[in-house]
Amino acid sequence: MKRMVAIARVLLLVVALWWPIVSKIEQPKYTVVETHGDVEIRDYAPMIVAEVAISGEREKAISEGFRTIADYIFGDNASALKVPMTAPVSQQASEKIPMTAPVTQQGDGTSWEVRFVMPASYTLATLPKPKNPAVKLVEIGGKRLAAIRFSGVAGKNNLKRHRQELQEFVAQQGLQPLSSPAYAFYDPPWTLPFLRRNEVMIEIAKPPGP
């Protein structure tokens, strides 16, 4: 019993130290339209992302893409300015079939797009220009996403299970997907698995207006 109490105290301490750090990191603004268990339908505001295309296995791509964009926001840019860190880091496979909206993508299935959302206070005009030509600054319009949230280590099986669950939900609800699934990771790698926030997201079409 004493051991369990001690473990509980340690976990509470970890949460107490972890939450103030995470809560200060800016995240994209969105409105929850509907909730279905672990799945949310969200409307996202327009945003600017820094993105890089990386070929190869998913794990290698997210690591290499993270480092490349992290170099940019930590000062490897034309103005040598640091851009505040945001969350999440997202990763999406390039597609064989062009997306309907808002961006058209094509690929052979072995290329990944890794993205950081830029702080909302910046515009394309005020963001420092990347020195690395592989880093692109892209303005993305508002969109609707179906998202499923889960904790734990974002390994191959965990991602696959939640990706399939979200795809089944989209199909069962008769929603129109506009993109391939994207993965979003909100926490640094040293975060305890039960505290991690991971998501799989699919852009979907909004229903026609009245």
pLDDT tens sequence across 103-146: 222 223 468 888 888 888 889 999 999 999 999 999 999 999 99
Name the residue among 29, 147, 48 with its Cα closest to residue 103: 48
Displacement of CA 8 from its chain's centroid (Å)? 30
The reported pLDDT for the residue numbered 17 is 34
The string of pLDDT tens digits covering residues 2-47 is 555 444 443 333 333 333 334 457 888 899 999 999 999 999 999 9
How high is the pLDDT of residue 117?
A: 87
Residue that wins the pLDDT comparison between 27 and 94: 27
- Cα 53 to Cα 115: distance, rounded to the nearest angstrom: 9
Report the percent of the chain where pLDDT is more than 90.
Answer: 40
In order of their start, the domains of the chain are 27-204 (3.20.80.10)
User: Could you give the strand order of the β-sheet that contains 47-55, starting from the edge strand earlier in sequence?
Assistant: 30-36, 39-44, 143-150, 198-204, 182-185, 89-93, 111-117, 47-55, 136-140
pLDDT at 78: 84
Q: Which two tokens stand for residue 53?
A: 């295309």
When comparing pLDDT for 94 and 84, which is higher?
A: 84
DSSP category for residue 88? -
More confident residue, 148 or 185: 148
Q: Which residues share a beta bridge with 183?
A: 91, 200
Q: Using an 8 Å Cβ cutoff, are 201 and 181 in contact? A: yes
pLDDT at 175 over 70: yes
- Show the tokens assigned to 51: 């993105």
Alpha-carbon dihedral 32, 103, 26, 119, rounded to 10 degrees: -140
Q: Is 33 helix (H, G, I), strand (E, B) or coil?
A: strand
